[in-house]
Amino acid sequence: MLLAGIFFAMMNVSVKFVPHIPAIEIVWFRSVFSLMFTFVILRQQGIAVFGNNKGSLVIRGIVGSISLILFFYTLQRIPLASAVTMQYLSPIFTTILGVFILKEKVKPIQFLYFAMAFAGVLIIQGVDTRVDPLSAAMGVISGLAAGVAYNMIRKLKTSEHPLVIVFYFPLVALPVASVIMYFDWVMPTGWDWLILLWIGFCTQSAQYFMTVAYQTGNLARVSSISYMAVLYALIFGFILFGETFPIASYIGMALVLAGILLNLRVKPDAEVDAKR
């Protein structure tokens, strides 16, 4: 998971290095790389490419695409650490939506942790003038869409191979991005091509290491380690882009992380019953 976090961080940084390339275009290039790479692996392993539950797989692809597109837009509009912190609201939405999608139970104490995380976002948006309301809204919606996507992944985990779930993301994102990109195309030049290729490589590598981590490790511990990404974002943002924050912003980020990490420590009743 530490390796996944490093690759995700390098992906985030790379997106900020090409602010003149529209976010939807970056998603398109990323999807092309992922689609080809995942397709080759699926064929080599003899796995049915299109899976069994095509409807749920398409929904996962749609919400995943929405989440990534909005996340890339926020990366280009606001400081790196702020964008990453808002994206990491997704576990909160995953838990809440799990009540409706997977019929899971939420304990009362968890709502306190949810409120803590949202309060952190409000502080970040309120004290940092670089985080405008539109960017904040896109960041929150990105986290919400990711929450839906993670619930769909959990719903499909017993019936679909992980690589098939990964494959549907670029399969859906590519045609959507192609249509939107037609009206907002910027021709990459020089180093842009290498950076776009690097974004695709980093994303695919991060997805691979993250999948291995979730398949082989304790869910709560692995999830906790993933929040190192916010620390990476703070470090890279400061070194590469000279990004600094008022004290209140750091407090807001700490509240978001505290709310999410405390929520991860709460074991669902279903998990407790399963152990019994």
Low-confidence residues of the chain: pLDDT under 50: 270, 272-276
Structural domains counted in the chain: 1
Residue 99's nearest CA partner among 154, 61, 158, 54 is 154
Contact in structure between 164 and 51 (CB atoms under 8 Å): yes
| DSSP assignment letter at 245 | -
- pLDDT of res. 79: 92
How large is the angle between the packed helices 54-77 and 23-44, nearest 10 degrees?
A: 140
Position of tokens 């838990």?
95
Q: What is the pLDDT of residue 213?
A: 73
What whole-number distance in Å separates Cα of residue 68 and Cα of residue 170?
11
The pLDDT assigned to 218 comes to 55
Per-residue pLDDT of 39-81, as tens digits, reads 999 999 999 899 888 999 999 899 988 998 999 999 999 999 8
Instruction: Give the CA diameter of the chain.
Output: 60
Burial class (CB in 10 A: 0-12, 13-18, 19+), 100: exposed
Res 32: pLDDT: 92
pLDDT at 101: 84
Task: State in Å, rounded, how far the first CA of the chain is from the last one.
Answer: 29
Q: How far apart are the C-alpha atoms of 185 and 180, rounded to whole Å?
A: 9
By residue range, what is the domain housing residue 241?
Answer: 2-275
Rounded CA-CA distance 123/117 in Å is 10
pLDDT computed for residue 141 by the predictor:
95
Rounded CA gap, 202 and 6, in Å? Answer: 9
